[in-house]
Amino acid sequence: MNTAAVSPLKALWSVFGERRRPLVLAVVLRALAAAAMGVPVAVIVWSVEAIRTGTLDESGAVGAGAVVVVAVSLQYALWFGANHLAWVNTFQAVGEGRINALRHVEKLPVGAVAGKGSGDISAVLGADHEQVAIYAHQGLMNLVGGAALPIATLIGLAVIDPLMAAVVAVSIVVAAPVFLLVNRAFVQQSLQRADTLAEANGRIVEYVQGIATARSYHQVGPKLLWYREAVARMRAVNDALAVKITPLAYVSIGVVFLGVPLVIAVCGYGLLDGQVDAFTAVVFLVVVLRVYTPLVSVAVEAEGLRLTDAALQRIARLHSLAPQAFRDREIARPLEHDLEFQAVRFGYDPERPVLSDVSFTASAGTTTALVGPSGAGKSTLLSLASRFYDPDRGTVRLGGVVLNDLTQDQLFDAVTIVFQDVYLFQGSIRDNIALGRPEATAADIERAARAARCHTFITALPDGYETRIGEGGLTLSGGERQRLSIARAILKDAPVVLLDEPTSALDPVNERAIQEALGELMRNRTVLVVAHRLSTIRHAEQILVLREGRITQRGTHDQLITRPDGLYARMWKDRERAANWRIR
C-alpha cells in the first residue's frame, strides 16, 4: 500500500482488491435505494396537485398507490442487497487484509518488528482493520445513502421550480468549505488518537505479561500507573478532539440548516411577488427537510471516513516497512556448512555500532564458542548468522554463499536455533517439538524428546505429548521449556546449530544430561554457541572472546588460559572463584 497522500476513499478502494466490483455494486444499490425513498414523496406531491386541480380519478389513485408500494418494496430489496454485498465482501476483504498484513510482518527483519512493538502491530492487525471493516459496510453505505437522497430530491424539486432548487443547492455549496475545515482538523487528531491507542495497547500487553515480575518486586502499582499515563494521554487526545471538532461540526451542520430559513424567505418573497404559487411554496417547505436532514448523516459519516483514513494510514505505514529480501529461486548452493564473517559491522542504531570489523570462520563440523562480558555482541552475532538482521557493512557466508543470496528455505533448512528466552506456542507439546518439522512421526518426536531428556516429564503429564500448554509455555518450568526447545532443534536436524545460553535455565541435576543431549545434537555440525558458563565450552575447537563489539582473543581453551593478562583467563579465574563461593 502506498504511503503517499491519497484520498481516504481511494485508500479504502485499494483495500478491496478483487472484491471491488461487489462493493461498487453495493454502493450503486444503496444509492438507488436512497433515490427510491424519494418516489413516495413525489407521488404524494403529484396526488395533492391532482386533487387540487380536480384531475385525480380512481385509476390514477390506484396507480399512485401501486407506485408507492412498488417503490417501498424496491427500496427495501435494494437496501438488503446492498448491505448483504457490503457485509460479506467487506469482512472477507478485511480478513484477507489482516492475513496479508501478518504475512508482511513475517517477512520483515526481526529488528523492524521489535521496533514497532507488539502493541502497535496488534493495533494495526486488530483495531485498525476493524475500523476499516465497520466503515466500509456501514459508514460508507450511510454516506452514499445520505448523499443520494438529497441529490434525487433536488432533481425532483428542479422539475417543479428550478430557481427554488438552485437556492437549496447554493446553501449546500456554502457549507462545503466548513466541511473541509472540519475534516482537515479531524484527520490530524484521528491519526494522533490511533497512535496513542496503540501505545496504550502495547503497555497493557507488557503489563499483563510482566505482572508476575511486577508483583515480586512490589511494582504492580507503579506499573499500573505507567499504563494509566498512556490512557491519560489517550484521554487528553480524545478531549482535544472533542473540544476542537465538536464546535466546528455544529457550525457545519448549522450552515447546512441555514438553507431552511433561506428557503422560507425566498418562498415568502415569491408568494408576495406572485412568482411562486402557494402549492409550490408548501411543497418546497415540506420537502426541503428531506434534502437537509440526510446531510447530517453525511457530516457524521465524513468524520467516520477520517477515522478510517487514520486507520488506513497506519496500515499503510506497516506495509511500507521493507521486507527482508530473499532470493525467490536458488542461484547457488552452499558446498559446505562453514560460517564466515568478513569485516562485519552492525548496530541496532546505525550511529552506535554493536559489532565493528568482526571477521572469523566457524569451520564445518566444528564448535565455535562466543564469550565475553554482557553487551559485547555475542547474541548479535547469532542474529546475523540467522539473518534476523543484515550487517550494515561486510558479509556473512554459509558454505561460501552470502546469506542474502540464499532462498528463505535454503537458509532456514540449514540453521536451527536454541534461544536464550524460549517461547512455546499455545497447543500441544507434540506440536511445539515438531515446530521445525511438522511432518515428523510420533516415533521421531519421542526420539528427540528422549535425547533432550524431556520424555520422562512429558509422560508424567496428564495427557502426555498431547498435553496443552499455555501461552509462552508458562505452565512449564524454565528448565522444561529449555529442554523442549532443545528437542525442537534435535528433531529439525539442521547442519548448522546456533545456541544462545543453552544451559542457562537448567538446574544442576539435569545439566549433565542435557550436555550429553547437546553433544549428540552438535556432533558433526557447525555450531556457534554463546555461554557464560565457561565450563560448557572448554572443548570447543575455537573460542572467540568479544569485548565492546570486537574480537580481542581467539583460540582454544588451552591456548587462551595460558595468557594470564587476557580477558578469557580473567573470566576463567572469576568462574573458579564463583564456583568456590559458599553461603556462610
Confidence check: pLDDT of 449 > 80: yes
Average pLDDT over residues 11-25: 78
Q: Among the listed ranges 62-71, 175-184, 385-394, 409-418, which one has the minimum average pLDDT value?
A: 175-184
- Which pLDDT belongs to residue 216? 47
* CA 224 vs CA 216, 218, 232, 243, 371: distances in Å: 14, 11, 12, 28, 38
* C-alpha dist (Å) from residue 73 to 43, 182, 303, 368: 15, 37, 31, 79
Residue 415 has pLDDT above 70, yes or no: yes
Instruction: Supply the mean pLDDT for the chain.
Output: 79
Cβ neighbourhood burial of 362 (10 Å; 0-12, 13-18, 19+):
buried
Decide: pTM greater than 0.75. no
Range 447-459 average pLDDT = 89
Average pLDDT score over residue span 355-378: 92
Give mean pLDDT, residues 80-99: 85
* Position 346 confidence tier, pLDDT thresholds 50, 70, 90: very high
Express each pLDDT in 165-184 by its tens digit: 787 788 777 766 766 666 66
| pLDDT reported for residue 560 | 92
* pLDDT, average across residues 82-87: 86
DSSP code per residue over 14-70: HHSGGGHHHHHHHHHHHHHHHHHHHHHHHHHHHHHHHHHHT---HHHHHHHHHHHHH
Query: Which pLDDT belongs to residue 485?
Result: 86
Give mean pLDDT, residues 392-409. 92
Which domains are delineated in the chain? 8-320 (1.20.1560.10), 339-579 (3.40.50.300)
119 has pLDDT over 90: no
> How many Å apart are CA 251 and CA 179, to the nearest integer?
9
Is the pLDDT assigned to residue 124 strictly greater than 70? yes
Task: Give the chain's largest Cα–Cα span.
Answer: 120
Predicted confidence band of residue 343 (pLDDT cuts 50, 70, 90): very high
Q: Where is pLDDT greater, at 370 or 482?
A: 370
pLDDT tens track for 292-335: 777 777 767 776 777 788 788 888 888 888 888 888 888 888 88
Instruction: Give pLDDT, residue 65.
Output: 87
Q: Tell me, what DSSP letter sits at residue 323? A: P
The pLDDT value given to residue 550? 94
Please tell me which residue, 445 or 504, carries the higher pLDDT value. 445
Least confident of 404-413, 414-423, 434-443: 414-423
